[in-house]
Structure 1
């Protein structure tokens, strides 16, 4: 996973985003696959659990022990070649100091559609940059590959592009389909004769502002295009693939 310069910052959704938001609740979701317990709450830092659709279309729970882990997971889930992500996968035994090996758990293991497995350690930049951590990581990598992964990567706040994070949050909020509305909006999008802003498209469409999330899903699916260099807002210009 390539490193990218990162500056975490929140992105405010446009007002039209509140017009319609399908429920993402699923009481039959698959529970966390973590092999080590993740705290359910902490008075000192952020902990949470999110769900994503697995390759079978089922909601899968994923535990995150920090805000940084949550943001890293979202960016992974919405990669174009994403297949699966697991948290706190099976431990490996490594000898980082002394003579006795000790257990180590990676925060995540990302699997791509190619089958490539990437073990991910999520660390604050101030820890990632230390000599001691880099030394330990070299030992850990030598055991992890190929035992539990094909590659090992470290994600810090410097590796999360703020635009990619903002888009991942938006795509995740829009992940639950609305089949009838989505189909109608996509037929309207196919008939666009020129690029236009999302707001202009919705204002001219019979579906109105309630089509916001359907447009976001169409962008996520690659049905329409939008500039990659900016967060998606109501002012973003959309066009059909190949349009001038």
Structure 2
């Protein structure tokens, strides 16, 4: 049984706060994730309703990461897919936008995601099951989208449903997220192999040349995540997947 008592005069270590951490949180040089940027409160848990937390890192997997909160399994899936896009520069959740109804009354709509692409384009995303895109949501969203574009909140507004999810993109996004943590020795070895690569190669052959077994495979997946390697075809990432080095790549 764990002993939760502390000696008199000894400052107890505070538990990790799921809403905020930041640099040197515990005072021992360890950095934890940055807080969520959601503009409204999201329940930490709900009986009979999915809620989730995703900690994203920088492309190299070295940063403490950014906390993102989701309120449905569909949001969770889309979050991973959007993060995996090579065009994505930044993604934040629950971004508030003030809009006016037909009577001139102001309301606040919270877009599930606000995506910023590398070219500066902002895309506001509403995530919704396809079966629930009618009714009040279907009646008000066109008006909200029009105002969001006209007033410069976003360059585009998109509705993301379960019907729009690409199972291949989702599989690869989950895989890359799960293997994002850096393994320096394997990553350095993989960089060396890729820098000597010409033409197309199968991942299994690259792993063999790296010479570190499963760690080498994970390092290759991280290179795909960082867009240093590209898939030849739109397929699930695996040992038999053909890849090539991104144009202009240098280790």
Q: TM-score, normalised by structure 1?
A: 0.77
Contiguous gaps of at least 5 residues in structure 1 = 1-25
> Match for residue 40 of structure 2?
36
Q: Does structure 2 retain, via aligned residues, the 8 Å contact 1:54–1:83?
A: no
Q: Does structure 2 retain, via aligned residues, the 8 Å contact 1:166–1:231?
A: yes
Q: Say whether residues 1:110 and 2:90 are aligned partners.
A: no
Contiguous gaps of at least 5 residues in structure 2 = 1-29
> Match for residue 78 of structure 1?
84
> Match for residue 136 of structure 1?
140
CA distance in structure 2 between the partners assigned to 1:116 and 1:94 by the alignment: 24
Of residues 199, 205, 212 in structure 2, which corresponds to 1:207?
Answer: 212
CA distance in structure 1 between the partners assigned to 2:137 and 2:93 by the alignment: 21
Shift of 1:107: 0.9
Over 3 Å counting, the alpha-carbon distance change for 1:116 and 1:235 in structure 2 is same
> Match for residue 13 of structure 1?
none
Which of these two proteins has the greater Rg computed from alpha carbons?
Answer: 2
> Match for residue 90 of structure 1?
96
Higher relative contact order (CA 8 A, sep 6+): 1
Shift of 1:132: 4.7
Task: Output one character per residue of 1:139-192: Cα deviation in whole Å (capped at 9) or x when no partner.
Answer: 111222234222111100111111111111111122222233211122124445
Q: Which stretch of the first structure deviates more once superposed, 26-35 or 72-81?
A: 26-35
Q: TM-score, normalised by structure 2?
A: 0.75
